Amino acid sequence: MNAFNPRRVSYLRAPGPSRRSAVSPYPSLSSIGYPPSERSADERFASAVWHRTFNHIDYAAYKAACDAERAAKPERDPDVFSVSSSSARSGFSRIGAMLTIYPYRDMGWLATMVFISGGICFCLNGIFSLIPLLSPKLNFAGQDTGIQTTYTLGGALFALSGLMGLLAAFNVDRGLLDPKKDAPDAYKPALLGSEEWVWWANWYELRTIYLPSLAFRAGILQFFAGASFTVSAVAGIPGVLDLSHPSASIIFVTSPQLIGGGVFVIAGLLMIYLSQDKWYIPKIIDASWQNGLWNLVGAGSFLAVGVVTLLEKTAAVAIAALFLTGGLGFLMAALIQWYIIMEFYPTDPYTEDSATAAEIPSQSIY
C-alpha cells in the first residue's frame, strides 16, 4: 500500500537517466583526444616538447614497487568484472530474505511493515466483531473496546503507511551506486538518516517525475483513503462526537467509510493496470498483479461496509464479515508486498563463473 513500489520501483523512475550512473571503466573518445582539438601551432609545439621531456627514474625501485603491487592483487581484478543488471532474488530466496533481512532504514520496507500491522488490526476487528455474533457465549469483557481500538489503530496505520510510501517514493533512486557492486539499475534508495535522504521532492521532480506517474497518484489516493478511515474510526469513538442525530453518524462515520473504500478501489484498479503489459490481459501469476488484486479485494470489502452500514445498520453479521474479509485482503496484499520488495535485497551482483566465485567479495546489506 505505498507509492514507492506499486509495485515495481521502475514505475517511479524518470524516463531518462535520472540517477547517478556507474562510472564506465573504459575511456571516452574525448579522453583520448578524438576528435582533435582546435589548438594553435604554438600550443601543439609546446605539447610535443612536453611529451619528449625525459624524466629519470630509478628502474630497480620502480620495478620492485610494481611487483609488490601486482602481488598484493588477485589474479583477476573484481573491478573489471561486468555487473549484472538483472540480479534479483526470486522464489524461495525472497521468502528466506523476508525472514533474515531487516532493512530498517529503508522507508519502503518500513512502510510495508506498517501496512502489515494495519491489516492485522482490521483482521482482529473482524474477528472480535463476528465471532460473538455467531456464538454469543464467546462474548468477552472489553469486546467493544477491542473492536473500536483495532478499527481506529488499523485506519491510522493505513494512513501512516500511505504517507511513508510517499516518502519512500521521493527517495527511491537517491542512494549512491557503487560501480564495483551495484548494477546500473539496482534498487538503491536513500536510507533514513543518510545525507541523501529527503523529506520532500523539489517542484521540478514533482512536476516531471512523480505527479505524471500513475503509481505515485495511486499512492496519494491510498494515503487519503487511509485518512478517511481514520476519520471514521475516531468519530465512532464514544464521547468524541454526539452521534445521536442520524445525520451526524452518516456524515462522520458512514461517509468517510464510503469515500475511503471507493478511493481504495480506484487505487487498487490502478495498481492492477500498472502491473499488466496490456490492460486487457491479466498477469495472474505475477506477484505485483496479485498484490493489486488483494488490495482490490480489501478495498471492495471496505466499500461494501459503508454501503451496508448506510442501507441496513442492523446487519451486524454482514458488516463484521466484510470487515474480516477486507482485513484479510489487505493483509494478504501486505505480505505479497513484503515478498516483492525482497527482490531488491541483494544477491551477488557480479557476473561470475565457478572458477572465480571465491575471489568476488559478497555484497553487504546497507
Q: At residue 320, does pLDDT exceed 60? A: yes
> What was the pLDDT predicted at 247?
80
In a domain, 76, yes or no: no
Q: Residue 4: pLDDT band by 50, 70, 90 thresholds?
A: low
Q: Residue 55: pLDDT band by 50, 70, 90 thresholds?
A: low
> What was the pLDDT predicted at 119?
93
In a domain, 173, yes or no: yes
| CA separation for the pair 22, 218 (Å, rounded) | 31
Q: Which residue has the cell 481500538?
A: 149
Give the 3-state secondary structure of the chain: CCCCCCCCHHHHCCCCCCCCCCCCCCCCCHHHCCCCCCCCHHHHHHHHHHHHCCCCCCHHHHHHHHHHHHHHCCCCCHHHCCECCCCCCCCHHHHHHHHHCCCCCCHHHHHHHHHHHHHHHHHHHHHHHHHHHHCHHHCCCCHHHHHHHHHHHHHHHHHHHHHHHHHHHHCCCCCCCCCCCCCCCCCCCCCCCCCCCCCCCCHHHHHHHHCCCHHHHHHHHHHHHHHHHHHHHHHCCCCCCCCCCHHHHHHHHHHHHHHHHHHHHHHHHHHHHHHCCCCCCCCCCCHHHHHHHHHHHHHHHHHHHHHHHHHCCCCHHHHHHHHHHHHHHHHHHHHHHHHHHHHHCCCCCECCCCCCHHHCCCCCCC
In a domain, 29, yes or no: no
Inter-residue contact 216 to 5 (CB < 8 Å):
no
In a domain, 138, yes or no: yes
| CA separation for the pair 226, 154 (Å, rounded) | 9
| Omega within 30 of 0 (cis) for the link into 35 | yes
What is the domain range of residue 128? Answer: 85-344
> What was the pLDDT predicted at 43?
56
In a domain, 183, yes or no: yes
Mean of pLDDT over the chain: 76
Q: What angle do CA 282, 283, 284 make, to 5 degrees?
A: 95
In a domain, 35, yes or no: no
Q: Of 33-42, 153-162, 224-233, 349-358, which range is least confident? A: 349-358
In a domain, 78, yes or no: no
| CA separation for the pair 115, 228 (Å, rounded) | 16
Q: What angle do CA 134, 135, 140 make, to 5 degrees?
A: 115
Percent of the chain with pLDDT over 70: 70
> What was the pLDDT predicted at 167?
92
Q: Residue 173: pLDDT band by 50, 70, 90 thresholds?
A: confident
Handedness of CA 332, 338, 341, 342 (dihedral sign): negative
Q: Which residue has the cell 514533482?
A: 206
Mean pLDDT of 158-163: 90
Q: Of 74-78, 149-153, 181-185, 359-363, which range is least confident? A: 359-363
Q: Residue 350: pLDDT band by 50, 70, 90 thresholds?
A: very low
Q: What angle do CA 39, 44, 45 make, to 5 degrees?
A: 150
In a domain, 204, yes or no: yes
Inter-residue contact 363 to 181 (CB < 8 Å):
yes
> What was the pLDDT predicted at 74?
52
Total of domains in the chain = 1
Q: Residue 9: pLDDT band by 50, 70, 90 thresholds?
A: very low
> What was the pLDDT predicted at 236?
78
> What was the pLDDT predicted at 18?
44
